[in-house]
């Protein structure tokens, strides 16, 4: 099957190219750009010089003739304008941006501070948290890929919500991300001399993934309350760690909670629940599509701590996008994604 990538000059785009290199069924036929049409992609990324990929302009009619599915790795505010014409042209789409994740347009406009997507197209999008909405994704032609922090947080919280064992008003999430999470464009947040040997907290109580996480939690519980969620920039290239705290409704044992996690994820190829009392580091997943989870219950405070790590560019973006495309196209979920993390 031929696939295309819009936004191939960005980090999500080049990560798609890296991962798809070994995919058994998807072939990257075309790459599209809004600013570098006619140029070799290797001008921006010399590590891809062997690929001989020339960037094409974005024309839905032409795209329809060229590929079976498109990955839109474009910024929020851009995807909402671009994707409707792709959908109308009958192209299958996986969008990596935040534009189609929130079902309520006004909520999007409040948190992203941009004009939201047309409501008709919002309703066509399937939220692509692969492990939890697999059937919907299999039946969808248009998947909205989750945010990177949201993926790590939701995979860590889902079993607790589904089992109804935590007080929904007690959730606190502390997120930390590597710098590639901010994309390739320059910003003061990611400027080397300000980011290196520094630990930055940003978007406190204002992060755009807060409503996305709350919206998804409400699929699993009718009692969802606002969460506290803070994000930090760590001077490393890849990786996200979310440390999640919540109060357990009734006294129980770590053993019991650990069993709930292993039960929910036993058939999931990409979620690895750690042995009781052991916790994952970001390097345990970097380069791969894994989400590793560690759990501890503190009987003194009746609070549970869940640590969830992913590679922001793989499970947090391009890897999960391929996982979703596999499901949409009736392929094995892990096609092209059987990758051992890079260590050290």
Ligand X SMILES: NC(=O)C1=CN([C@@H]2O[C@H](COP(=O)(O)OP(=O)(O)OC[C@H]3O[C@@H](n4cnc5c(N)ncnc54)[C@H](OP(=O)(O)O)[C@@H]3O)[C@@H](O)[C@H]2O)C=CC1
The set of catalytic residues is: 148
Distance in Å, CB of 177 to ligand X2W, minimum = 4
282 makes contact with ligand X (CB under 6 A): no
CA distances from 238 to 15, 46, 233, 271 (A): 12, 20, 11, 18
Q: CB under 5 to 8 A by kind: which of ligand X2W, ligand X, none does 11 bind?
A: ligand X
d(CA 275, CA 265): 13
Q: Which of 20, 122, 155, 313 binds ligand X (CB under 6 A)?
A: 313
Contact 187, 263 (CB under 8 A): no
Indicate left, alpha or beta for 205 from its phi (over 0: left) and psi (-120 to 50: alpha). Answer: left
d(CA 104, CA 90): 24
Q: Which of 128, 147, 239, 294 binds ligand X2W (CB under 6 A)?
A: 147
287 makes contact with ligand X (CB under 6 A): no
Handedness of CA 320, 325, 328, 332 (dihedral sign): negative
Quickly list DSSP for 266-316: TT-SSEEEPPTT----GGGTTTSS-EEEEEEEETTTTEEEEEEEE-TTIII
Q: Which of 211, 316, 319, 336 binds ligand X (CB under 6 A)?
A: 316
Residue number, 209 or 264, with CB nearest to ligand X2W = 209
Q: Which of 9, 73, 74, 76 binds ligand X2W (CB under 6 A)?
A: 76
Q: CB under 5 to 8 A by kind: which of ligand X, ligand X2W, none does 63 bind?
A: none
Close Cβ partners of 5 (under 8 Å, ≥ 6 residues apart): 13, 16, 17, 28, 30, 31, 32, 70, 71, 73
**Contact pattern for ligand X over residues 32 through 71, marking x by CB under 6 A:** -xxxx-----------------------------------
d(CA 223, CA 199): 34
31 makes contact with ligand X (CB under 6 A): no
96 makes contact with ligand X (CB under 6 A): yes
Q: Which of 73, 177, 282, 288 binds ligand X2W (CB under 6 A)?
A: 177
Q: CB under 5 to 8 A by kind: which of ligand X, ligand X2W, none does 208 bind?
A: ligand X2W
78 makes contact with ligand X (CB under 6 A): yes
Handedness of CA 147, 152, 157, 162 (dihedral sign): positive
19 makes contact with ligand X (CB under 6 A): no
Distance in Å, CB of 281 to ligand X2W, minimum = 18
Stretch that binds ligand X, among 60-68, 92-100, 246-254, 323-331 (CB under 6 A): 92-100
d(CA 184, CA 170): 36
Q: CB under 5 to 8 A by kind: which of ligand X2W, ligand X, none does 308 bind?
A: none
Dig out the tokens for 53 from the structure: 């990929």
Q: Which of 41, 129, 148, 304 binds ligand X (CB under 6 A)?
A: 148
The residue behind tokens 């001399």 is 193
Binding site for ligand X (CB under 6 A): 7, 9-13, 33-36, 73-76, 78, 96-98, 147-148, 180-181, 183-185, 312-313, 316-317
């Amino acid at each position: 099957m031929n696939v295309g990538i819009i936004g191939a000059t960005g980090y999500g785009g080049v990560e798609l190219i890296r991962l798809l290199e070994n995919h058994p069924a998807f072939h990257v036929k075309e790459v599209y750009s809004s600013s570098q049409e006619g140029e070799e992609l290797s001008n921006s990324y010399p590590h891809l010089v062997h690929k001989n990929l020339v960037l094409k302009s974005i024309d839905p009619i032409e795209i329809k003739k060229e590929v079976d599915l498109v990955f839109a790795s474009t910024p929020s505010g851009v995807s909402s304008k671009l994707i409707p014409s792709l959908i109308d042209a009958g192209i299958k789409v996986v969008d990596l941006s935040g534009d189609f994740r929130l079902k309520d347009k006004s909520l999007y406009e409040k948190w992203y501070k941009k004009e939201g997507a047309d409501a008709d197209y919002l309703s066509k999008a399937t939220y692509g948290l692969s492990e939890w909405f697999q059937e919907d994704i299999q039946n969808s032609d248009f998947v909205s890929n989750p945010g990177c922090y949201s993926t790590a947080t939701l995979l860590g919280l889902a079993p607790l919500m589904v089992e109804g064992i935590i007080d929904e008003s007690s959730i606190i999430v502390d997120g930390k991300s590597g710098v590639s999470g901010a994309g390739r464009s320059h910003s003061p947040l990611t400027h080397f001399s300000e980011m290196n040997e520094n630990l930055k907290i940003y978007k406190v109580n204002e992060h755009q993934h807060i409503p996305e996480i709350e919206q998804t939690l409400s699929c699993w519980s009718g009692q969802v309350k606002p969460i506290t969620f803070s994000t930090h920039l760590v001077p490393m290239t890849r990786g996200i760690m979310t440390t999640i705290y919540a109060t357990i409704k009734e006294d129980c044992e770590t053993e019991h909670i650990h069993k709930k996690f292993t039960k929910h994820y036993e058939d999931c190829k990409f979620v690895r629940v750690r042995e009781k009392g052991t916790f994952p580091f970001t390097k345990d997943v970097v380069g791969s599509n894994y989400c590793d989870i560690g759990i501890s219950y503190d009987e003194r405070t009746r609070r549970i701590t869940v640590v969830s790590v992913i590679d922001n560019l793989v499970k947090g973006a391009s890897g999960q996008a391929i996982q979703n495309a596999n499901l949409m196209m009736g392929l094995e979920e892990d096609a092209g994604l059987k990758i051992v993390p890079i260590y050290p």
